[in-house]
Chain A
Amino acid sequence: DVVMTQSPLSLPVTLGQPASISCRSSQSLVYSDGNIYLNWFQQRPGQSPRRLIYMVSNRDSGVPDRFSGSGSGTDFTLKISRVEAEDVGVYYCMEATHWPPYTFGQGTKLEIK
């Protein structure tokens, strides 16, 4: 199975400053159709997860444009251009290329400094 490794696991950020989370997979996430099926999820405290990004860089409906995803092959990044208070929570990457199983990263806890 693919192993997804996120860093950092804890991310203290000052309001208004940028934040970046890395996600690395143990093997390439390029599918046979040429696409990469890499998602990013946000889980706010006490809430269910919510998908932010699919296929590396596509924002889901309603996701603010301060969130962006990038990457290729085995290295991916979620960036928040200017952190707001509502961004506090845990962020997970998840690969959907080599299913089953779907594999999540360990999660990165973003907090306000």
Chain B
Amino acid sequence: EVQVVESGGGLVKPGGSLRLSCAASGFTFNNAWMSWVRQAPGKGLEWVGRIKTKTDGGTTDYAAPVKGRFTISRDDSKNTLYLQMNSLQTEDTAVYYCTTLNGVPLNDYWGQGTLVTVSS
């Protein structure tokens, strides 16, 4: 059974930092390009960033609003994806989803999301 479980969300003050984790099981994690997608309260889906597999170079790409503030990393030995968020702003308040988001005939898995609230 596939499981994707995010953790680490919570309340943080503007300018603060938070690290999200995503524990994956039931599929070959080290073969999957992994993304973070967020959804502000009552709003639509926004892609945050993606990390490729080590085989494909392990490189990362980020959406413009988070570039330079957020960092995605992975630990294939633990089947875990991370999102380090620094210099958080109120606009970063959202549910953050971990996903194998892709556009090809590969399975598409999503976690249940973790809520990050940035507020003073």
Contact = CB atoms under 8 A, between A and B. Distances in A.
Interface string A23-67: 000000000000001110101000011110011001011000000
Interface residues of A, number: 29
B111 A107 contact: no
B47 interface: yes
A20 interface: no
Interface of B: 35, 37, 44-47, 49-50, 61-64, 97, 99, 101-105, 107-108, 110-113
27 contacts: A39-B103, A48-B97, A48-B110, A48-B112, A48-B113, A49-B37, A49-B45, A51-B108, A54-B104, A55-B103, A60-B107, A61-B107, A90-B44, A95-B103, A96-B101, A96-B102, A96-B103, A100-B50, A100-B61, A100-B63, A102-B35, A102-B50, A102-B101, A103-B47, A104-B45, A104-B46, A105-B44
